[in-house]
Amino acid sequence: MIHNFTDLEPKVKRTLLIDVFRSVFNGIIETSSAFFILLLGKIFQSGFIEKSIATSGVSFGLILTPFVIFFASRLKVNPSKSIGWMLVLSSLFAASSSLFNSGILVAVSLALALAIWASCIPFQTEIYSSNYSEDMRGKLFSIAQFFKFLSVIYFGHLLGELLGSDSYNYKYLPMIYAICFLVLGLTAFLYPCAGSRFENKEVKFLSGFNALKTDKYFRLIIISWMLLGLGTLMLFPLRVEYLSNPRFGFSMNESNISLLVLIIPNFMRLIFTFFWGYLFDKINFFRMRMIINLLFVFSALTFFLVSSFNFLVLASILFGISVSGGDVAWNLWTTKFAPPGKNSIYMSVHTFFTGIRGIISPLVAFKMSETYGHISALSLALIFILVSTAVIYKERNVRTFL
């Protein structure tokens, strides 16, 4: 159990308070992908190329993480300052997108803002690894996640209503997200980062990839994540397209799309985040990952194969539960596997491959859906998820990783 807040070390308390405050603004940013797709489709009549660019911004940023880690170590910049300056730059790109009348320019500007935001993740994980003890890391992380999901639910509903009432309101979207990036950047400077490994030890260029050769579990789980991510990241953009595009028979308004894609899933993430944080601290990681994978499969089958609003609600519930577990596992798993002092390096390899699959998956998903139908795209996504589960099945009883 978590101690009373007053009993926590000053470094832990400060990190937690900053993280909870920032989680509200991170929650608003998390709504961006769904609303950027709607912005490009409804205002600029953009096709799958522009939509893919906008939704691939986070993935492009993840690809850059090994390079960002390397340059941060060369410059001796600690994680909190790295996050701060990068997010100020994100804010400038998001604000600049409001100046353009071209769908492609808007998509590129928003993608760059999200790319820089995403490339901060290894620095954030380094802060968790340094400031939170191993036996409390999952629980403390879940507290901030709880408030982030509250933010996604509230602002997802608020923005859905705002955009649904008047399409003119779409012009405010870039500035809303620009303000969020700016607040996140300024508050990141407040994180305690004394004795950062970035300041004390220079990271060799792409050194994390060498661990794939020598670390069995690291290599195995990177392969499993790659397959799983190809499947789940194909499903994410398809959900919005499936509900909004008339060719699939729904053509829902913004409020209903927001309900099914943002509000219900994030309400379930809110409810289950402490459960998954507890589970992460207590059970074998591979077993936890397999449970989450199967929940993704059941969610996708229910969402795309049954043409009923009630089943769409059920699918959104299952999706939210699985994403809640995926959030905890994705953000913290390297803290179980990485040797001391190498957490951010391992995380940069993980985020790099996440970015690769994130670039590929939306393009494949949209193209397959347009050419062969959503059932074909769904089938390929589910194959990836099931193979990912099979890859780690033999390790489900392993207790020690380091």
Tokens 């994130």, residue?
A: 358
Spell out the residues 6+ positions from residue 269 whose beta carbon is closer than 8 angstroms to its own. 145, 149, 152, 320, 321, 323, 324, 327
pLDDT of residue 165: 66
Q: Given pLDDT bands bounded at 50, 70 and 90, which one contains residue 280?
A: confident
Q: Alpha carbon 354 to chain centroid distance?
A: 10
Tens of pLDDT, residue by residue over 97-119, are: 888 877 788 888 888 999 999 99
Mean of all residue pLDDT scores within the chain: 83
Q: Residue 3: pLDDT above 70?
A: no
Tens of pLDDT, residue by residue over 206-227, are: 667 888 888 888 899 899 999 9
Q: Indicate if the alpha-carbon torsion angle 346, 352, 355, 359 is positive or negative.
A: negative
* DSSP three-state, residue 9: coil
Q: What are phi and psi of 4, to 5 degrees?
A: -60, 145
What is the Cα gyration radius of the chain?
20
Quick check: pTM over 0.85? no
* CATH number for the domain running over 7-395: 1.20.1250.20
The answer to whether residues 261 and 141 touch, using CB atoms and an 8 Å cutoff, is: no
Rounded Cα–Cα distance for residues 345 and 73 (Å): 11
